[in-house]
Structure 1
Amino acid sequence: MAVLDCGGFRAAAHRLGTVPSRVSTTISRLEADLGVPLLLRSTRSVRPTEQGQRLADQIRPLFQGIEAAVSEAANSMATVRGKLSINVPGAVVPDILPPLMAEYRRLHPEVDVEIVVENDRVDIIAAGCDAGIRYGAHLDKDMVSILIGPRTQQIALAASPAYLAANGMPEAPDDLTGHAGIRYRLPSGTMLAWRLRQGDDVVTVEPRSSLVLDVDAGIAGLAYARAGMGIISAFRNWCERDFEAGTLVPILEACWMSLDGPRLYYPSRFAGAPLRAFIDTCQRVSARG
């Protein structure tokens, strides 16, 4: 597992506190005992065979279970220690995650926290993370989830006063097709759709794309809207300060769509003490409103 995770014998030996020759000898002995090759070696790289990859996929959760058990034993005297790694989308980074992390850090200062920002759906076990946060993510059968942050979030439309003075205020969803839009694109290449309510129906509109941003740009997209480059579709909670300051103006507010808030998901088994403590923090903060 160390060789696969580190990408080579030398790096694995450093992680394990031994020498490369011992790592190589141990794997050769393991291959001889099993009767199948586990790693393909060259002078420049190491990669698993089909049998090696299958074995790694099957034993990784077992190793994580051992680590969780050891962590639980180490934290049995009330003080939580260790590492917590969470894989999150950029959408929760500006405002939903900080109060949770601040409260968690206040209660458990001896836990090292790592936040990995990715917007694609991620296998958190393969990624080496303890938990993930996603919107409406399909969960594998061995995962559980809890709601964090707001129960629902609205998707707002907004533009600067200068843009609206020059181009007019849209009065209906169809009007948006004649306006410049600041759009977000997923890593897969798919453009995030603009969906709005129109009476009892949900409609999709396609504005002219004045600017396309990778979804990783997140809340930074608002700066382009403030600069007058067009109308942006973004989380309402991102826009609230601009609405209050008048730097952005809400558009077609009655038509805004809502979606379920983000959820924390994690393996149903082997939750170590740092993760269990974070789950407790999320539930406590959520209960406060």
Structure 2
Amino acid sequence: MRRMRAADLSVFLAIAEHRSFRRAAVELGVTPSALSHSLRAIEERLDVRLVNRTTRGVGLTEAGERLLERIRPAFLDIDAALEELDTFRGQPLGKLRLNAPRAAAKLVLVPTVTRFLEAHPNIEVEIVVDDALVDMVSGGFDAGVRFGESIAADMIALAIGPRHRFAVVGSSGHFTRHKAPVTPHDLKDHPCIRYRFAGGSFYRWEFERGGLELDIDVQGPLTLGDQDMMLQAALDGAGLAYVFESQATELVTDGRLVSVLQDWCPYYPGFFLYYPSRRQLPGPLRAFLDFVRAKR
């Protein structure tokens, strides 16, 4: 058997970790076809099949699992050694790939990243907006942003940005046709703009006052999956919307929207930056975590 090069093993490692030729190809900067040919050549040189390709995806053979188990720690050690060079360079260098739902990206992540890049000009950041919950590792992400309750228990979480609360808002024209609600139960008399999660379920509007917690399954003729569109629909008179208060503040101040049930809308801890537990963190991620901690 000919001696394998580190570059050959990195091809297998990318495929094995992503379980996807497409995502592995993106990481390595090649086409999926070229990656497939490279893997085939590796398997021929080793005279053993490492990967099973099926219509359902990519899986590892027993030999592939064993190889991954042995070489992954070695590559992590190499990555850690290269990251330590940042102490001599003075500035971390590399790419940071982040995932966040649209609201989190707009409200906290993009403003934070913009300031971060001013302090770290040698780092490149990619933000992928996706309202669905994603697998951090298979998706090739360094970290993500979500509300705390939606973060898996095996992740490390760090608060990012201020605490938030929601607001129930409607156009002034809406309240010429409907009496302003006094309690959340009064929402049954109003057309409401419903929010559907990427997974398909409807969001139940959450309220709290004096220790009493309520969640209301509102009804209405319009369902959306984006807070900005909900806000615009409320402005257009489609009904009441339940949106982040910070998104509606200026419109309420200008009198274009009216906010109701303020004393029923509680504050939430806000968003969290989360990332997988690792023995060694990539330099760009470590720098970003330090930056977020310093701004808290």
Normalising by structure 1, we get a TM-score of 0.82
* 1:28 and 2:38 are equivalent in the alignment: no
Cα displacement (A) at 1:201: 1.4
Instruction: Quote the Cα distance in structure 1 between the aligned partners of 2:238 and 2:292.
Output: 37
Matched positions, count: 276
In structure 2, the residue matched to 1:225 is: 234
Instruction: Quote the Cα distance in structure 2 between the aligned partners of 1:119 and 1:57.
Output: 31
Cα displacement (A) at 1:120: 2.8
- Given residue 267 of structure 2, which amino acid in structure 1 is its aligned partner? S
In structure 1, the residue matched to 2:3 is: none
Deviations 1:194-232 (A, max 9, x none): 122254311222332221112xx2323201111110000
Change (3 A) 1:9 1:260: closer
**CA-atom RMSD, angstroms?**
3.2
Alignment of 1:1-289 (within 5 A): 1-3=13-15, 4-7=19-22, 14=30, 21-30=37-46, 32=48, 37-41=49-53, 47-49=58-60, 51=62, 54=65, 62=73, 63=75, 66-73=78-85, 76-136=88-148, 137-141=150-154, 143-150=155-162, 152-214=163-225, 217-269=226-278, 270-286=280-296
Deviations 1:58-100 (A, max 9, x none): 5796446643542442563112211000111222122212321
Instruction: Quote the Cα distance in structure 1 between the aligned partners of 2:158 and 2:24.
Output: 39
SS of residue in 2 equivalent to 1:93: helix
Change (3 A) 1:64 1:218: farther
Change (3 A) 1:139 1:65: farther
Cα contact 1:75–1:81 (8 A) shared by 2? no
Cα contact 2:20–2:57 (8 A) shared by 1? no
Q: Which moved more, 1:63-72 or 1:217-226?
A: 63-72
Cα contact 2:100–2:146 (8 A) shared by 1? yes
Instruction: Quote the Cα distance in structure 1 between the aligned partners of 2:79 and 2:118.
Output: 24
Normalising by structure 2, we get a TM-score of 0.80
SS of residue in 2 equivalent to 1:180: coil
Cα contact 2:164–2:269 (8 A) shared by 1? yes
Cα displacement (A) at 1:52: 7.0
How many percent of aligned residue pairs carry the same amino acid?
27
Instruction: Quote the Cα distance in structure 2 between the aligned partners of 1:99 and 1:13.
Output: 28
Cα contact 1:225–1:232 (8 A) shared by 2? yes
Change (3 A) 1:145 1:198: closer
Change (3 A) 1:223 1:277: same
- Given residue 152 of structure 2, which amino acid in structure 1 is its aligned partner? L
Q: Which moved more, 1:95-104 or 1:232-241?
A: 95-104
Instruction: Quote the Cα distance in structure 2 between the aligned partners of 1:84 and 1:198.
Output: 41
Cα displacement (A) at 1:10: 9.1
Cα contact 1:7–1:45 (8 A) shared by 2? no
- Given residue 201 of structure 2, which amino acid in structure 1 is its aligned partner? T
- Given residue 92 of structure 2, which amino acid in structure 1 is its aligned partner? V
